């Protein structure tokens, strides 16, 4: 038995190589690219498989000192993206979508707990197959899994969360496009599609919100690092302070809220302006590192035996998503072409992640025409605001269990 | 009372200090005129503050990322050092690199000799040599740390920062008048001087050298650039350990720098993958700023008092030598023409201070006497990375004789 000890730079090196491997595979294998599986997941899973195969010959020891900072920083960046004016830009649709997504989030948890009870899965584990990984994603799923495994002593929690989140990403990509096509066909919306060629450039624009490359200087980067680190450290510090008051509230959630406050102050005070594009880069890098590190240190073997019940919950979640998007999201968003695009997006982030939502909407728009407001609404709600709601809601649920 | 700061809190604190530095630099003309780096301004202010409250509070920071950031900065120099660029720059770049390297050796020789004369440890003297003169705050902080460990000296960091800051100021003051004397004394100014034609494009020539324009930045490109940094740093550490086992003393950051050079030039030759220059540059300077402010946060200014006399002597000697060297050596070897005079002015800037000073000096000269795009090109290529590599090797050689 060989033990490989990696110090923290070597651990980061391995994580970034796995990410690169993931990017390369996603580019080469159409299947992975089409479902928008995050590259860090692909690379990390491959390594986890390798580890499981080599379990008797080589053991790895990683220095994960940076994992928690990466995680908190990622949530802080979500907060820093949650601009009220972005939500306003999405128009009334954005607000209605937020309401619809919140309702779905509650239904997802009810469904997961219900089936979990019938199938005899511990409620805490079943909860991970609810909105934590569905509306959430790999990142949110992982943190809740950590809480669950700490509080309830369930060792396979992180593996369950990662499996569910990956299933959700694939399913979200699969159902979104066809659902929108059916909606458009049934209600004859194609003719009503607004004029205007679909442009690919709009997508990065949604996140950068008018921030140009030229504004990226060392100064603004360091400012943004300051804002993120500030939100993150207030988050960690706040967790301790709240615990002293007898309230259990995780640090990353505090960081998210602090980030959101910073962003909305910065929108009005030029001195504290937040640069969305740099935030977006920091967010992407820290999530990738965090996911790669999380999956690298994951033990796949413990998933055994949980397969069947989880699979049932997953299929039920997918069905729920489709039905909900068809009957609720589409109606609430106004029942027109734009609403169909929003529904496709909701399928993407409702059980997968925001990149799935964007990809679904791109596919629909490339065929029928542009729906700008839909992009803004889904980006604002899916990438930022619903995460805020989700983190708060799941935390409350965990306290009740 | 001791205040503890966790990793994230330390970074928050360091960036807050940086921000204060940037803010003051923008408001106070003198600071920006001499190109004093923002972390130095903020760091010195914080050092003064912590000196003032020393008896009530002490600060305890988590410095886990300090050394990795420093290594990342050197890696970025390696990743940017394309040998092809050196070749395409033509003979002038090469000549200037040799001239500047000679000065590096002289600076170290002067500081070692003088420190033996006045009876301070030669390592302390060297901190006022090429480490902070041709180098700058970054190199200074690295070696100060190293010397504190290796020779058990205290106050190194303070000496290095003081010397580097003095260098910045002296380099800025010296360059302009020197070039003026050269140009007016030898009647080199362009005769057809016309202020309207002063608008020239420095980047034209640089773009011709930069054969592969950078792609737009994306998140995955950022991750892949970080991967190149991480690989260079890890492989550098492995080489460092292997060399130590063989009995060769080569610091980790130099190993990482060489791996960086290899990664860059391997990509230039084989074109199998790309190194994104702009990202490398940005990550490098962000790391340097963070590293400097982390390093400066623990500055103990009161340790500077004993060393003030000897340091002043060495620094004065360095300044005089720089002036003579630029006047007699740099100017002659660069071709005795107008461009050579501008380069001499630029050399004063980075030979004592840093590359931004050199650029500022040359800007001031050319706006008086006419454009010299070649000078900008030569000085910035040599000053930005190649001289750092030479400097690191020379310092290492000197240290092994101490």
Give the closest of A20, A233, A236 to B224, CB-based: A20
From B234's Cα to the closest Cα of chain A, the distance in A is 6
A168 Cα to chain B: minimum distance (Å): 22
Q: Please give the span between the terminal C-alpha atoms of chain A, in angstroms, as a whole number.
A: 41
User: Which of B371, B372, B362 shows the shortest CA–CA distance to B197?
Assistant: B371
Phi, psi at residue B15, to the nearest 5°?
-70, -30
Kindly report, residue by residue over B226-273, the tens digit of the pLDDT. Answer: 999 999 999 999 998 898 888 777 778 788 888 998 998 898 888 888
Cβ-based neighbours of B277, under 8 Å, separated by 6 or more: B80, B210, B214
Please state the φ and ψ torsions of residue B151, each to the nearest 5 degrees. Answer: -105, 0
Q: How far apart are CA A316 and CA A331, in angstroms?
A: 22
Cα end-to-end span (Å), chain B: 40
Q: Identify the weakest region by mean pLDDT among A46-50, A101-105, A216-220.
A: A216-220
pLDDT above 70 covers a percentage of chain A that reads 90
**Confidence band of A229 (pLDDT split at 50, 70, 90):** very high
Whole-structure pTM value:
0.79
Per-residue model confidence (pLDDT) at position B231: 93
Query: In the prediction, which pLDDT does A195 show?
Result: 56
Both structure tokens of A121: 């899965």
Phi, psi (degrees; rounded to nearest 5) at B59: -110, 140
Beta bridge partners of B3: B59
Name the burial class of residue B29, with classes exposed (0-12), middle (13-18) and buried (19+) by CB atoms within 10 angstroms of its CB. Answer: exposed
Length of chain A counted residue by residue? 401
- CA separation for the pair B110, B133 (Å, rounded): 12
Q: Is the pLDDT of residue B200 over 50?
A: no
Q: Which residues contact B60 (CB under 8 A, 6 or more apart)?
A: B2, B3, B4, B5
pLDDT (tens digit per residue) in B370-390: 778 788 878 877 887 788 888
Task: Count Cα neighbours of A182 within 13 Å in the Cβ-side half-sphere.
Answer: 13
Give the C-alpha distances (Å, rounded to integers) separating B248 from A87, A187, A350, B255, B395. 60, 77, 58, 12, 15
What residues of B are in contact with residue A290 (Cβ under 8 Å)? none
pLDDT at B192 over 60: no
CB A11 within 8 A of CB A63: yes
Residue A401 reports pLDDT greater than 60: yes
Residue A281 near chain B (CB below 8 Å)? yes
Residues of chain A neighbouring B217 (CB-CB closer than 8 A): 213, 216, 281
Helix (H) or strand (E) holding B32: helix B29-33
Among B268, B264, B275, which residue's Cα sits nearest to residue B226?
B275
B317, exposed or middle or buried, with CB in 10 Å at 0-12, 13-18, 19+?
middle
Tens-digit pLDDT profile for residues B49-72: 888 887 888 888 888 888 888 889
- Check residue A303 and give its pLDDT: 65
Q: How many domains does chain A have?
A: 1
Are A230 and B16 inside 8 Å of each other by CB? yes
Residues of A in contact with B356 (CB under 8 A): none
Nearest residue of chain B to residue A224 (CA atoms): B15
Structural domain boundaries enclosing A70: 2-206+289-400
Which three-class secondary structure state does DSSP give residue B29?
A: helix
Q: With helix as H, strand as E and coil as C, how does chain A read?
A: CEEEECCHHHHHHHHHHHHHHHHHHHHHCHHHHHCCCCHHHHHHHHHHHHHHHCCCCEEEECCCCCHHHHHHHHHHHHHHHCCHHHHHHCHHHHHHHHHHHHHHHHHHHHHHHHHHHHHCCCHHHHHHHHHHHHHHCHHHHHHHHHHHHHHHCCCCHHHHHHHHHHHHHHHHHHHHHHHHHHHHHHCCCHHHCCCCCCCCCHHHHHHHCCCCHHHCCHHHHHHHHHHHHHHHHHHHHHHHHHHHCCCCCCHHHHHHHHHHHHHHHHCCCHHHCCCHHHHHHHHHHHHHHHHHHHHHCCCHHHHCCCHHHHHHHHHHHHHHHHHHHHHHHHHHCCCCHHHHHHHHHHHHHHHCCHHHHHHHHHHHHHHHCCCHHHHHHHHHHHHHHHHHHHHHHHHHHHHHC
Give contacts of B 281-310 with A, CB under 8 A. 282, 285-286, 289-290
d(CA A19, CA B89): 36
Residue pair B250/B240 in contact (Cβ under 8 Å)? The answer is yes
The CA distance from B300 to A378, in Å, is 52
> Taking the CA of residue A241 as centre, how many other CA atoms within 13 Å lie in the half-sphere pointing to its CB?
8
Note the pLDDT tens digit of each residue in B75-128.
888 888 878 777 777 788 889 999 999 999 999 999 999 999 988 888 888 999
Q: What pLDDT score was predicted for residue A205?
A: 54
Check residues A309 and B345 and name the one with the higher pLDDT: B345
| Mean of all residue pLDDT scores within chain B | 83
Instruction: Look up the ipTM and state it.
Output: 0.78
Could you tell me which chain B residue has the CA closest to the CA of A219? B22
Strand partners of residue B399: none
Tell me what pLDDT residue A378 has: 83
According to DSSP, the residues that pair with A5 across neighbouring strands are A61
Residue A288 touches chain B, beta carbons under 8 Å: yes
Q: What is the pLDDT of residues A365-387, one digit of tens each?
A: 777 877 777 877 887 788 778 88
Residue A401 or B335, more confident: B335
Of B227, B237, B282, the CB nearest to A17: B227
CA-based nearest distance A113→chain B, Å: 36
B217 in A contact zone (CB under 8 Å)? yes
pLDDT of B324: 92
> What is the structure's pLDDT at B204?
42
Q: Is residue B181 classed as helix, strand or coil in its secondary structure?
A: helix
Q: Are B262 and B81 a contacting pair, CB within 8 Å?
A: no
B392 has pLDDT over 90: no
CA–CA separation, B155 vs B148, rounded Å?
8
Distance to chain B for A142, nearest Cα, Å = 21
Backbone angles phi, psi at B272, to 5 degrees: -75, -35
Rounded distance between C-alpha atoms, residue A129 and residue A116, angstroms? 9
- pLDDT at res. A192: 63
In chain B, domain spans? 86-209+302-401
Pull the structure tokens for residue A116.
């979990």
pLDDT greater than 60 at residue A202: no
Q: Report the residue of chain B nearest A220, measured CA to CA.
A: B19
Tell me if B12 and A10 make a contact (CB, 8 A cut-off): no
> What pLDDT sits at residue B214?
63
Query: Is the pLDDT at A189 greater than 80, yes or no?
Result: no
Name which of B308, B399, B392 is nearest B135 in CA terms: B392
Whole-number mean pLDDT of chain A? Answer: 82
**Choosing among B223, B272, B287, which should be mutated to test the A contact, i.e. which has the most A CBs within 10 A?**
B223
B12 touches chain A (CB under 8 A): yes
Interface of B with A in 331-370 (CB under 8 A): none
Q: What is the pLDDT of residue A236?
A: 85
Of the listed ranges A290-299, A373-382, B203-212, B324-333, the least confidently predicted one is B203-212
Share of chain B above pLDDT 70, in %: 93
- Count other Cβ atoms within 10 Å, centred on residue B266: 13
Instruction: Name residue B58's beta-bridge partners.
Output: B2
Give how far Cα A394 sits from Cα of A17, A113, A335, B6, B282, Å: 33, 12, 30, 28, 39
B12/A222 touch (CB, cutoff 8 Å), yes or no = no
- pLDDT at A194 exceeding the cut of 50: yes
Q: CB–CB of B16 and A226 under 8 A? A: yes
Asked if residue B92 lies in contact with residue B334, where contact means CB atoms within 8 angstroms, the answer is yes
Nearest CA in chain B to A13: B230
User: Which residues are CB-neighbours of B348 under 8 A, at least 6 positions away?
Assistant: B171, B174, B175, B178, B179, B322, B323, B326, B358, B361
When comparing pLDDT for B368 and A346, which is higher? A346
- Residue A5's CB: how many other CB atoms inside 10 A? 11
Beta partners for residue A58, in sequence order: A2
Q: Stretch A6-22: mean pLDDT, rounded?
A: 89
DSSP tag of B9:
H
Q: In this predicted structure, what is the pLDDT of residue A230?
A: 92
- Across the interface, whether the CB atoms of B6 and A233 are under 8 A apart is answered yes
Band of residue B194 on the pLDDT scale cut at 50, 70, 90:
very low
Backbone angles phi, psi at B63, to 5 degrees: -100, 25
Inter-chain touch B286–A69, beta carbons under 8 Å: no
- In this predicted model, which residue has the larger pLDDT, A357 or B323? B323
Is the separation of the CB atoms in A389 and A105 below 8 Å?
yes
- Region A11-40: mean pLDDT is 84
Cβ <8 Å between A19 and B223: yes
Q: Which of A64-73, A209-218, B123-132, B314-323 is the least confident region?
A: A209-218
Confidence of residue A41 (pLDDT cuts 50, 70, 90): confident
DSSP-assigned states of every residue in B81-139: --HHHHHHT-HHHHHHHHHHHHHHHHHHHHHHHHHHHHTS-HHHHHHTTTIIIII-HHH
| B190 DSSP assignment | -
The pLDDT of residue A201 is 47
Instruction: Give the burial class of B181: count Cβ atoms within 10 A of its Cβ; 0-12 exposed, 13-18 middle, 19 or more buried.
Output: middle
Q: What is the mean pLDDT of residues A122-148?
A: 85
Provide φ and ψ at A236, rounded to 5°. Answer: -65, -40
Q: Is the pLDDT of residue A200 over 60?
A: no
pLDDT, tens only, A80-114: 887 787 777 766 788 888 889 999 999 999 998 88
B89-118 as b/e: b if 16+ CB within 10 A: beebbebbbebbbebbbbbbebbbebbeee
Please tell me the number of Cα atoms within 13 Å of A386 on its side-chain side: 34
């Amino acid at each position: 038995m060989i033990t490989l000890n990696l110090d923290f730079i070597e651990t980061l090196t391995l994580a970034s190589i796995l990410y690169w491997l993931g990017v390369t595979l996603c580019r080469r294998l159409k299947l992975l690219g089409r479902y928008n599986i995050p590259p860090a997941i692909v690379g990390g899973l491959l390594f986890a498989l390798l580890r499981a195969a080599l379990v008797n010959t080589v053991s790895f020891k990683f220095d994960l000192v940076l994992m928690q900072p990466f995680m908190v920083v990622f949530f802080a960046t979500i907060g820093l993206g949650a601009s009220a004016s972005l939500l306003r830009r999405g128009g009334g649709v954005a607000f209605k979508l937020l309401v619809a997504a919140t309702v779905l989030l509650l239904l997802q948890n009810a469904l997961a707990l219900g089936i979990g009870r019938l199938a005899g899965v511990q409620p805490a584990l079943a909860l991970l197959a609810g909105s934590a990984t569905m509306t959430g994603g790999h990142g949110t799923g992982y943190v809740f899994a950590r809480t669950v495994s700490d509080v309830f002593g369930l060792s396979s929690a992180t593996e369950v969360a990662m499996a569910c989140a990956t299933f959700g990403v694939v399913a979200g990509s699969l159902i979104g496009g066809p659902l929108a096509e059916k909606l458009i066909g049934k209600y004859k919306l194609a003719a009503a599609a607004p004029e205007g060629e679909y442009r690919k450039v709009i997508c990065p624009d949604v996140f950068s919100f008018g921030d140009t490359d030229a504004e990226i200087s060392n100064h603004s980067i360091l400012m943004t690092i300051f804002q993120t680190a500030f939100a993150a450290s207030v988050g960690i510090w706040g967790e301790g302070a709240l615990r002293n008051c007898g309230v259990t509230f995780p640090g990353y959630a505090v960081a998210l809220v602090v980030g959101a406050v910073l962003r909305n102050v910065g929108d009005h005070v030029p001195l504290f302006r937040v640069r969305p594009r740099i935030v977006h880069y920091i967010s992407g890098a820290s999530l990738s590192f965090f996911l790669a590190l999380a999956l690298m240190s994951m033990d796949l073997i413990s998933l055994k035996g949980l397969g069947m019940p989880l699979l049932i919950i997953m299929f039920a979640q997918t069905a729920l998503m489709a039905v909900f998007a068809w009957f609720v999201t589409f109606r609430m968003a106004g029942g027109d072409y734009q609403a169909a695009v929003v529904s496709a997006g909701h399928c993407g982030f409702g059980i997968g992640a925001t990149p799935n939502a964007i990809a679904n909407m791109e596919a629909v728009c490339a065929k029928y025409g542009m729906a700008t407001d839909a992009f803004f609404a889904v980006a604002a709600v899916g990438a930022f605001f619903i995460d805020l709601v989700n983190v708060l809601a799941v935390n409350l649920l965990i306290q009740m269990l | 009372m001791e205040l503890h700061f966790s990793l994230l809190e330390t970074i928050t604190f360091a960036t807050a200090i940086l921000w204060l530095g940037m803010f003051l630099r923008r408001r106070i003309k003198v600071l920006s005129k001499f190109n004093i780096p923002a972390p130095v301004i903020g760091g010195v202010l914080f050092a003064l503050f912590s000196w003032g409250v020393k008896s009530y509070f002490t600060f305890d920071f988590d410095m886990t990322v300090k050394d990795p950031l420093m290594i990342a900065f050197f890696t970025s120099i390696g990743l940017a050092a394309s040998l092809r660029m050196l070749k395409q720059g033509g003979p002038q770049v090469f000549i200037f690199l040799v001239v500047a390297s000679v000065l590096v050796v002289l600076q170290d020789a002067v500081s070692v000799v003088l420190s033996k004369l006045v009876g301070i440890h030669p390592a302390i003297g060297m901190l006022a040599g090429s480490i902070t003169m041709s180098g700058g705050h970054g190199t200074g902080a690295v070696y100060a740390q190293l010397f504190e460990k290796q020779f058990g000296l205290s106050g190194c960091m303070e000496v290095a920062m003081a010397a580097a800051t003095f260098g910045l100021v002296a380099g800025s003051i010296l360059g302009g008048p020197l070039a003026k004397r050269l140009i007016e004394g030898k009647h080199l100014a362009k005769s057809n001087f016309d202020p309207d034609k002063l608008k020239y494009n420095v980047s034209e020539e640089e773009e011709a050298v930069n054969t592969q324009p950078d792609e737009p930045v994306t998140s995955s490109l950022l991750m892949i650039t970080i991967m190149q940094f991480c690989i260079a740093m890890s492989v550098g550490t492995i080489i460092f350990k292997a060399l130590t086992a063989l009995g060769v003393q080569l610091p980790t950051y130099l190993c990482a720098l060489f791996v960086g050079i290899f990664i860059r030039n391997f990509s230039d030759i084989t074109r199998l993958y790309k190194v994104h220059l702009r990202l490398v540059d940005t990550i490098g300077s962000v790391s340097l700023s963070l590293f400097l402010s982390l390093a400066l946060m623990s500055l103990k200014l009161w340790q500077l008092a004993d060393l003030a006399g000897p340091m002043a002597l060495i620094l004065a000697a360095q300044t005089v030598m720089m002036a003579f060297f630029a006047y007699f050596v740099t100017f002659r070897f660069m071709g005795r023409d107008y461009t050579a005079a501008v380069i001499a002015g630029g050399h004063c800037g980075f030979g004592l201070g840093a590359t931004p000073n050199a650029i500022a000096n040359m800007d001031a000269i050319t706006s008086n006497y006419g454009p010299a795009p070649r000078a900008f090109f030569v000085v910035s290529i040599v000053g930005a990375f190649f001289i750092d590599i030479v400097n690191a090797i020379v310092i290492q050689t000197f240290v092994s004789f101490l």
